[in-house]
Structure 1
Amino acid sequence: MQPWLSSLLGACRSRTHLDQLQAHLLKTRLEASPLLSEYLLHLPASGLPFFLPFLSFLPSSYPFLHNSLIRSLSPSSSSLCLLPFIAMRRSFLPPDSFTFVFSLKAASSTAEPSHGEQLHAQALLHGLSSHLFVSTTLITLYSELGRLRSALKVFDEMPVRNVVSWNAVVSAYAKAGDVAGAWRVFCFAPVRDSTSWNIVLAGLVRSCGDLARAVMVFRLIPEHARDSVSWSTMVSGLSMHGDYHQAFVFFRESLRAGALPNEVALSSVLSACANSGALALACSLHGFLDKAGLNGLLPACNSLLSAYAKCGDVPAAEKFFWLCMEQKSVVSWTAMAGGLAAVGRADEAVQLFLEMELQGFTPDAAAFISLLQACSHGRLVELGQNFFSIMQTKYQLTPSVEHYGCMVDIYARAGRLDKAFEMAMMAPTKEKEVLWRTILGACVVHGEVNMAEEVERKLVEMGHGEAGDCVLLSNVYARAGRWREAARVRERMRNQRMDKPPGWSSVEVGAKASTLSGQAVELQHTPSRQGDNLLAFAAAE
């Protein structure tokens, strides 16, 4: 390709530029140049739609050019990704197996199920529906569409199957929520690989949350078949379901086994640190990230920042945020603002939010939750009202129950229980129990007996009455000196056998995670060795 043509193509920024270049190519007869086609195929997928006017210039005798263009466009969720296939059919160029594989992958990313069905019909018409790669891709397509029966029908009609085909069917069962069916197919498969085991693990952990069986299956995996995906699936699944101790155990095991953790495992174990208050382990993981050269992974950095903030070490979070993070996202700013709000530095959290806007970041729904929480902690009622309005008018964000909960908390902390009640009534959701319990807790502080009675009645009517609600109502009566009513509520709890689970806290004592329960005043040490240096584990061979 001539250098001037390459420069012009790279400089096109509007449809007008393309029209002018297209006219020039037609005039100089350069439109059919194979080099031009090759240049178009190496463009990033995001820029290809601007060059679709050149689609008709692709030589009709080169099907691989059309196939490559389909593959390049397949990440797009637009139906434009199938235009090269349509152009092939209009030019009577016969599609091959690669054409259907790439086209079916492109169809799975669109929002129109009929695209996949039409491609399936075309594959049948050209005698390629039983091709190994085409059939496997069809199974994946129908699995993405939630059509398990169609996927199984394609599989049953396959004359030849390989491990990828079997994995596709196992995945189809798992995505449909039928983990037992996925396990049956897995056991019946004549050959398995790491992907086979990982699909079953993911189904057990994410689809049905059967952690005990997931651990059992993981122990059955041959050591040579355990890869980073296997370990990260277990760590993320255990962390997601709140079993932080086991998440730490599996993470340390993976390091001892010599498996380099990926960003999913790192983000999950750091999230477990944040939720369990394991600050010592978070500090060790910070050193591990630096030593392993993984401190450029933004998701892991965001999780580390969140761990520092949620564990209460806000100075370390600030240092990491301002000095160590080369890249930042909305998640980064939100985590930092949330950390400042949690320790009562509400004004600084608001200023950080404004700084984020000045930096060109668009706040999302989670950012506004942190911002409203800061307003709640700082008793910034008017500011919270303004931000609640801005998120809807300026950023077109629809408030969720979490946003309404923050507004209820803002009013409740300020003693404006009437406004809190009004906000709870305005929330466009039926799941309001969290909002009512926030108001009920505020009634204890401010001694609002009548409102407490009304809120407790609403919780009972919703079918969400719990022992904790009765305890709060009893405390409201006791605070007002109405001991008879308080005793009556306690009697009702005994008659209905309503037991309130004891409260507990997780703290670090001597670099160990410890649980302090309200039922038994004793520290229960977990043998997690969270204070151990992970760098030593990573270096051990």
Structure 2
Amino acid sequence: MVCSTLTLPPQIPTHHKPKQQQQQQTLDLITNFNTPFELKQAHALLIKTHNNASLPLPRVALICALTPSFSYAHQILQRSHEQPLFLWNTCLKTLSQDTPQHALLLFIRLLQMGIYPDQFTFSFVLKACTQLLDVRNAKTIHGYVEKLGLLRRNLVLQNMVVHVYVVCGRMSDARLVFDKMILRDVVTWNIMLTGFIKAGHVGDAYRLFSSMPERNVRSWTMMISGFVQRGRPREAVDLFWEMEREGLRPNEVTVVAVLAACAELGDLEFGKRVYHRYAAADQEGFRGNVLLCNTLIDMYVKCGCLEEGYRVFHAMEERTVVSWSSMIAGFAMHGQGEKALELYDEMIRCGVEPNHVTFVGLLHACSHMGLVDKGHEFFTIMTRDYGIVPTIEHYGCLVDLLSRAGLLEEAHEVIVNMPSSPNGVIWGTLLGGCRLHKNTVLAEEAMRHISELDPLNDGYYVVLSNIYAEAEKWEEVARVRKLMKSRGVKKTPGCSSIAIDGVVHEFEAGDETHPQAEKIFEMWEKLLVKMKGKGYVPNTSVVLLDVEDKEKEKFLFRHSEKLALVFGLINTKPGMTIRIMKNLRVCEDCHVAFKLLSAVENREIVVRDRNRFHCFKNGTCTCKDYW
């Protein structure tokens, strides 16, 4: 190999340079070399131009140790009168952060030179293993530390060993070390807590959390976030209440987790209280937190406060693609697809590049408005203009768009031509379209696939049963119910919730156990008289049971969303907005009734069902009866 020759910059002759400047230039040459040969040249220049006593020999040696000139480094260190371990550790510390693979190489060189490592050496090498997710070398270092007797008396090293196993996903190894530890601090417990939550073992995490002798804000925050991540928002909120009672003040990460839980629960009042108490004041320093603002937008949107969410979005000094995508999805969910498309145009004008989540929101907007051509256009430009490969979620949106529009054969063609295997949700989306457009043939094909992919999901059996019931194929209805029973599948009852004065009240279909049940039924009878005076006729066709119409009306009037609405009318002041969350799709009769009641009672009624939001006001709904 031909090596280039090092030369000093020509601007100033060497003998005219101040000594300090000349030394610095030589040191720069040592740290900025291209080949081992150039490094040796720089070292020779250093020896010729400076007093040997001031030469940074160990420093040169450490640089050499990372090159093929390892033997050269060894010779330098043998001639040095300094004890070099401190310098080795300093170099290891830097490398463990910047280039961890070099830290491991340097550690091997250290051992080859016969230098005895200390606790700091091992801590930096363990950090390098953590950065690289290198569990094999971590185990080797763990063995060294145990053999030298350093681990038992050093809590920091023990925590680092536990941490590297947790980060590498080796919870069984982490648990073995944890169980053997005589002394543990809150850091130790938090490391294990993080590991269980990261692995999805939230039950194990909570058991560990409950047994912690000491908890800090980080402990509570991790456990609250863990519950949210695993779809257990109610437990997250309950834990936050407990944290407050303990007298601990949450940080911004805690607030973000609690707002996310409130978004899932639809608990607007509690979410607003948490935000205004801990994050709204300027002195807290949270308002500039983009993640917090994005979560706040998501909470407002999912709680039916679209205008509040848009106000937060508008006030943000910095907006990320997540901010734009959340707002686009919010407009789509609330039936304001035109606004979603306008916001997308504004986003592009602002130079923000959309991501895959943005296009999910746009496709939902097109689906809720029946804009088939526009949906196809977005599906095309997503890949063509932005290089985004469609995910199964994008295909699900496209199938939903086509199915809602009655283009069932085209939706079916999209499914069978997908590049990846469709899941149960995709076929379930087609099944829902078959129900809307009464296509039993395609419904049966969709159900054959669902029976293999998601055989225990009760919702799909119910939809197929409803399709048969609407076609008055009662024998087929009985067959589906028998199939559900044989497979141990139970129908999920309709459930609606409403939050009043910080308390969430839940109602199931046919519920007569609520303390105010008698008042609710009396109030409903009065409202029924008003509604019938406005032309309301109960739509008993949505009760898919082979019983008399009077029986059907009884079932119809006990739908969970109706019970929640009447409860809200009784327990809130006139003119207040009523917000209801439902776990299933709103039925056609409830939809008609809510439109009438919004006008009769002069109330805005916001209902979030399984698919979207319905905002009833002055006798109309934002979905424009297309849902």
| TM score, norm. by length of structure 2 | 0.67
- Residue 18 of structure 1: aligned partner: none
Structure 1 residues 116 and 341: CA distance shift in structure 2, 3 A: same
Counterpart code for 1:354? D
Counterparts in 2 of 1:145-184, with a 5 A limit? 145-158=132-145, 159=148, 160-161=150-151, 162-184=154-176
Does residue 445 of structure 1 match 2:436?
yes
Deviations for 1:476-524, whole angstroms, at most 9, x for unmatched residues?
1222232322222223323343322334334313332233334745569
Counterpart code for 2:435? V
Give the conservation status (yes or no) of the 8 Å contact 1:447–1:476. yes
404, 413, 418: which one aligns with 1:413: 404
Give the conservation status (yes or no) of the 8 Å contact 1:66–1:85. no
349, 359, 363: which one aligns with 2:340: 349
- Residue 623 of structure 2: aligned partner: none
Structure 1 residues 168 and 413: CA distance shift in structure 2, 3 A: same
Does residue 198 of structure 1 match 2:190?
yes
- Residue 368 of structure 1: aligned partner: 359
Counterpart code for 1:206? K
2-structure distance, mates of 1:522, 1:122: 75
Counterparts in 2 of 1:54-453, with a 5 A limit? 61-62=55-56, 85-86=66-67, 92=73, 96-108=88-100, 118-128=105-115, 130-158=117-145, 159=148, 160-161=150-151, 162-211=154-203, 213-223=204-214, 226-287=215-276, 288-291=278-281, 292-323=284-315, 325-453=316-444
Supply the RMSD in Å over aligned alpha carbons.
3.7
- How many residue pairs end up in the alignment? 473
Larger radius of gyration: 2
Deviations for 1:59-117, whole angstroms, at most 9, x for unmatched residues?
975589999xx9xxxxxxxxxxx999549969847661221232233344xxxxx7665
Deviates more, 1:238-247 or 1:135-144: 135-144
Structure 1 residues 26 and 66: CA distance shift in structure 2, 3 A: farther
1-structure distance, mates of 2:177, 2:481: 54
Structure 1 residues 32 and 399: CA distance shift in structure 2, 3 A: farther
Structure 1 residues 174 and 524: CA distance shift in structure 2, 3 A: farther
Give the conservation status (yes or no) of the 8 Å contact 1:514–1:524. no
Counterpart code for 2:199? S
1-structure distance, mates of 2:24, 2:273: 53
1-structure distance, mates of 2:256, 2:71: 49
Give the conservation status (yes or no) of the 8 Å contact 2:266–2:303. yes
Deviates more, 1:383-392 or 1:99-108: 99-108
Give the conservation status (yes or no) of the 8 Å contact 2:193–2:209. yes
Give the conservation status (yes or no) of the 8 Å contact 2:255–2:275. no
Give the conservation status (yes or no) of the 8 Å contact 1:375–1:410. yes
Unaligned runs of 5+ residues in structure 1 are 1-21, 41-47, 71-81, 109-113, 526-541
Deviates more, 1:464-473 or 1:356-365: 464-473
Structure 1 residues 24 and 155: CA distance shift in structure 2, 3 A: closer
- Residue 564 of structure 2: aligned partner: none
Give the conservation status (yes or no) of the 8 Å contact 2:237–2:258. yes
Give the conservation status (yes or no) of the 8 Å contact 1:209–1:241. no
Structure 2 SS opposite 1:515: strand
Structure 1 SS opposite 2:279: helix
Deviations for 1:9-32, whole angstroms, at most 9, x for unmatched residues?
xxxxxxxxxxxxx99955336896
- Residue 8 of structure 1: aligned partner: none
Identity %: 30
Deviations for 1:269-294, whole angstroms, at most 9, x for unmatched residues?
11111111010122123312122231
2-structure distance, mates of 1:222, 1:181: 22
- Residue 74 of structure 1: aligned partner: none
Structure 1 residues 417 and 222: CA distance shift in structure 2, 3 A: same
1-structure distance, mates of 2:265, 2:111: 55
Counterpart code for 1:284? R
Deviations for 1:450-497, whole angstroms, at most 9, x for unmatched residues?
100111112224464643322222211222232322222223323343
1-structure distance, mates of 2:58, 2:222: 37
Structure 2 SS opposite 1:353: helix
1-structure distance, mates of 2:57, 2:346: 52
State the shift of 1:208 in Å.
4.1
2-structure distance, mates of 1:351, 1:250: 40
2-structure distance, mates of 1:481, 1:137: 73
2-structure distance, mates of 1:302, 1:84: 48
State the shift of 1:352 in Å.
0.7
1-structure distance, mates of 2:515, 2:330: 28
Structure 1 residues 216 and 471: CA distance shift in structure 2, 3 A: closer
Give the conservation status (yes or no) of the 8 Å contact 2:332–2:365. yes
Structure 1 residues 524 and 470: CA distance shift in structure 2, 3 A: farther
State the shift of 1:207 in Å.
1.5
Structure 1 SS opposite 2:312: helix
Structure 1 residues 283 and 463: CA distance shift in structure 2, 3 A: closer
Counterpart code for 2:486? N
Structure 1 residues 523 and 403: CA distance shift in structure 2, 3 A: farther
2-structure distance, mates of 1:500, 1:52: 72
Structure showing greater relative contact order (alpha-carbon pairs closer than 8 Å, 6 or more residues apart)? 1
Structure 2 SS opposite 1:485: helix
1-structure distance, mates of 2:513, 2:194: 37
Structure 1 residues 456 and 169: CA distance shift in structure 2, 3 A: same
State the shift of 1:145 in Å.
4.6
Structure 1 residues 490 and 137: CA distance shift in structure 2, 3 A: same
2-structure distance, mates of 1:83, 1:356: 52
Structure 2 SS opposite 1:290: coil
Structure 1 residues 356 and 444: CA distance shift in structure 2, 3 A: same
Counterpart code for 1:425? V
- Residue 9 of structure 1: aligned partner: none
Structure 1 SS opposite 2:196: helix
2-structure distance, mates of 1:302, 1:167: 34
Unaligned runs of 5+ residues in structure 2 are 1-5, 47-54, 78-86, 517-627
Structure 1 SS opposite 2:506: strand
Structure 1 residues 37 and 413: CA distance shift in structure 2, 3 A: farther
1-structure distance, mates of 2:380, 2:228: 35
1-structure distance, mates of 2:199, 2:89: 33
1-structure distance, mates of 2:513, 2:349: 50
Counterpart code for 1:346? G
Counterpart code for 2:228? S
2-structure distance, mates of 1:365, 1:36: 50
